[in-house]
């Protein structure tokens, strides 16, 4: 069988694998997305007819007296803190759970479980743990004479407390990291060990470069998820205190379902889409310098 026929079969297999997602997007997502784009140029509160207002909703986003720009600033700060935290914690968990020790399967399952749990349920659990009087964190700190700390009542630390909730959902990136680590050829480690390389050097010069594709995809996935993170904010802080956790996604939620400004909420959503798209493209462009792919001959590209 020729090389070209094998490549053609691989392409066909790839298209077949993405076909279910494409059909789902076409029938369930493309319509609502198109509708939201149309009403982003309109004034609509569910009960009145659509009124075309041009770019007014988009101009309102940049109003210096509005909430959109400050909310986007808090969101960027949140994402900048959250993405590295989830990447580091999930990678550390993956490294530990790829070792030949007992209980790894159970540990993987337990760590992955929160990923399939409702965000609202997770938010309730974290709200209990952050409770100033009866929370788990302050209870543990009391043993060392620290606290109580107002984790979500203090505007100075509330956003950082919400960042901590990110370690709850490391299951998905952990699984991708485990698959990537297990895909590194064992011969690389054997040769490095013969040459006297320490475990740290083996990780830094072999494991890390080989899993950079997984780091790239996890970075983009976590980035998109955290820009849209909403349920924990609603349950834990409702945007408070003093709007310290009033993120952009919460502004979208309030605009649409509290103030019934569907046109403005749609404009907010499309603006967020553009911001995420730009950041993603920057990451993809920079990935040419730090992401390494293994060729069919085993060479690093």
Measure the N-to-C terminal CA separation of the chain; round to a whole number of Å. 26
Residue-wise pLDDT for 56-113, tens only, equals 999 999 998 989 999 999 999 999 999 999 999 999 999 999 988 788 888 888 888 8
pLDDT interval class at 172 (50, 70, 90)? very high
pLDDT interval class at 259 (50, 70, 90)? very high
Report the number of secondary-structure helices (H) and strands (E) in the chain. 16, 2
283: cis peptide before it, omega within 30°?
no
- Residue 4's pLDDT is 59
- Does 119 or 177 have the greater pLDDT score? 177
φ/ψ of residue 2, rounded to 5: -70, 160
The b/e string for 249-271 (b: 16+ C-beta within 10 A; e otherwise) is bbbbbbbbeeeebbbbbbbbbbb
pLDDT interval class at 169 (50, 70, 90)? confident
CA separation for the pair 301, 288 (Å, rounded): 10
- Residue 147's pLDDT is 74
pLDDT interval class at 296 (50, 70, 90)? very low
Overall CATH class of domain 58-290: mainly alpha
Does the predicted TM-score (pTM) go above 0.75? yes
Q: Report the 10 Å Cβ neighbour count for 213.
A: 16
Rounded mean pLDDT, 175-183: 93
pLDDT interval class at 253 (50, 70, 90)? very high
φ/ψ of residue 52, rounded to 5: -70, 125
Q: What's the whole-number average pLDDT of the chain?
A: 90
* Closest residue by Cα to residue 152 from 128, 121, 120, 117: 128
Residue-wise pLDDT for 185-224, tens only, equals 889 988 998 888 888 999 999 999 999 999 999 999 999 9
Q: Report the 10 Å Cβ neighbour count for 156.
A: 10
| Residue 6 CB burial class (10 angstroms; 0-12, 13-18, ≥19) | exposed
């Amino acid at each position: 069988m020729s090389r070209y026929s094998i490549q053609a079969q691989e392409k066909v297999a790839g298209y077949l694998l993405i076909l279910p997602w494409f059909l789902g997007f076409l029938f369930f997502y493309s319509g609502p997305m198109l509708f939201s784009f149309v009403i982003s140029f309109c004034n609509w509160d569910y009960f009145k007819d659509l009124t075309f207002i041009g770019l007014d909703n988009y101009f309102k986003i940049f109003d210096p007296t509005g909430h959109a720009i400050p909310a986007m600033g808090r969101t960027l700060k949140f994402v900048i803190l959250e993405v590295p935290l989830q990447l580091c914690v999930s990678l550390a968990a993956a490294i530990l759970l790829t070792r030949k020790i007992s209980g790894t399967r159970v540990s993987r399952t337990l760590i992955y479980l929160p990923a399939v749990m409702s965000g609202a349920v997770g938010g309730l659990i974290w709200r209990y743990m952050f409770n100033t009087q009866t929370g788990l964190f302050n209870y543990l700190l009391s043993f060392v004479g620290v606290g109580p700390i107002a984790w979500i009542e203090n505007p100075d630390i509330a956003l950082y407390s919400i960042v901590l909730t990110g370690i709850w959902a490391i299951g998905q990136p952990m699984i991708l990291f485990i698959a990537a680590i297990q895909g590194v050829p064992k011969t690389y480690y054997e040769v490095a060990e013969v040459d006297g390389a320490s475990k740290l050097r083996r990780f830094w010069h072999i494991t890390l470069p080989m899993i950079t594709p997984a780091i790239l995809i996890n970075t983009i996935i976590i980035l998109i998820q955290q820009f849209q993170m909403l349920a924990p904010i609603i349950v834990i802080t409702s945007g408070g205190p003093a709007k310290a956790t009033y993120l952009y996604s919460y502004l979208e939620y309030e605009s649409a379902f509290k103030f019934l400004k569907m046109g403005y909420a749609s404009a907010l959503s499309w603006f967020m889409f553009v911001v995420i798209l730009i950041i993603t493209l920057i990451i993809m462009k920079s990935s040419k310098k730090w992401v390494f792919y293994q060729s069919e001959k085993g060479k690093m590209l």
